[in-house]
Amino acid sequence: MRVVQINVCSQVVAVYGTLSDLLSVASSKLGIKATSVYNGKGGLIDDIALIRDDDVLFVCEGEPFIDPQTDSKPPEGLSGSHTDWLTLNVGGRYFTTTRSTLVNKEPDSMLAHMFKDKGVWGNKQDHRGAFLIDRSPEYFEPILNYLRHGQLIVNDGINLLGVLEEARFFGIDSLIQHLEVAIKNSQPPEDHSPISRKEFVRFLLATPTKSELRCQGLNFSGADLSRLDLRYINFKMANLSRCNLAHANLCCANLERADLSGSVLDCANLQGVKMLCSNAEGASLKLCNFEDPSGLKANLEGANLKGVDMEGSQMTGINLRVATLKNAKLKNCNLRGATLAGTDLENCDLSGCDLQEANLRGSNVKGAIFEEMLTPLHMSQSVR
């Protein structure tokens, strides 16, 4: 067995068997249909016995031999054809190819414009006469092979994003499309499954208590988060629909634009909670505590609270401005000093509520029940 260098991509291969075996190996390694083998002096090799160790061979697809290391011109009439061999030095690695390979498949690419005319690179050649290109050889090889045979073949371990960047740099438009599809297909499918209680508790335990925990936009749909300490956590735009949050501590949590529809928050601590524009339609918030002794007020401005059951909740000073409480149950709630300006209270049960100093300006109380109020309600003309 002999080891020789095949000078198309400067690859070293083992030679054994017959000449047909060598051509088969060269075709497989180089991505071409090798039909002829020449030695370094241009001699056609028709017997593998003529090959010696460390020989440099030139594999061709049937075209006449032209030494790529010389400045010799191809025969008249063949200029710019596939017989016009040249060598590229890409980031220190040598690639031997034909001018037509770089020009014909993508005639409008940067590579095509670089090599349409022989003198375009001027003196940008190394000591061996190879044209210098300061790019990554690892990512250039798949591009060159694509220009040779039109197939995108990327070896294992090669980052497709790197090849895509090179394809964009060289302007190989058709390859860019292939790579974008390949990258998209290689991405794992998005996991939209809800986060379980076990997963979330593990997440909580791994997070330092002083660190801000961001759960923004996460899916907790149907999860059991009852009795957990969820203070100061950012649940903005999270999906908490049908969650069990009973007895949970949500003090100062951010639930802005979160989906809490159908959830159970009975006896939850909601001091200073932010629920601006959240959707809690049909949720149960019985006996919840929104009242913060320090004066920090819960903010439910613009929230959708249709049909919620908030019976017996402590909501002193709560901000429910322009919120929707249609058909809600607020029986025996403490709404002292609450902001209900512009709030939709249609058909809302407010019996037994403490509404002293509450701001009901511009609110809709059509069909609302106010019987058995602890404090008389003085409606102004602005109450609809």
- Render pLDDT for 134-146 as a digit per residue (tens, 0 to 9): 999 999 999 999 9
At position 306, the amino acid (one-letter code) is: K
Summarize pLDDT for 182-231 with one digit per residue, the tens: 888 877 666 568 888 998 998 888 887 767 788 989 999 999 999 999 99
DSSP 267-288: T-B-TT-B-TT-B-TT-B-TT-
328-381: pLDDT as tens digits: 999 999 999 999 999 999 999 999 999 999 999 999 999 999 875 444 444 443
Predicted TM-score (pTM) of the model is 0.50
Over residues 85-113, the pLDDT tens digits come to 889 999 999 999 988 888 888 888 888 88
Hey, what CATH topology would domain 4-60 get?
Answer: Ubiquitin-like (UB roll) (3.10.20)
CA distance 35 to 42: 15
Return the SS3 of 6: strand
CATH architecture of 85-186: 2-Layer Sandwich (3.30)
- Render pLDDT for 271-302 as a digit per residue (tens, 0 to 9): 999 999 999 999 999 999 998 888 889 999 99
Which sequence spans correspond to the domains of the chain?
Answer: 4-60, 85-186
* Backbone CA torsion sign across 295, 296, 298, 301: positive
pLDDT more than 90, % of the chain:
47
Per-residue pLDDT at 158 = 87
Band of residue 264 on the pLDDT scale cut at 50, 70, 90: very high
- What pLDDT does residue 190 have? 61
Q: Could you identify the residue written with the tokens 């002794």? A: 293
For residue 375, give the 3-state DSSP assignment: coil
Whole-angstrom distance, CA of residue 334 vs CA of residue 352: 9
Q: When comparing pLDDT for 130 and 262, which is higher?
A: 262
Where does the pLDDT of residue 313 fall: very low under 50, low under 70, confident under 90, or very high at 90 and above?
Answer: very high
Question: What would the pLDDT profile of 20-75 be if each residue is shown by its tens digit?
Answer: 877 787 777 776 777 777 776 666 777 777 676 666 777 776 655 555 554 444 43
The pLDDT value recorded for residue 208 is 76
d(CA 102, CA 121): 14
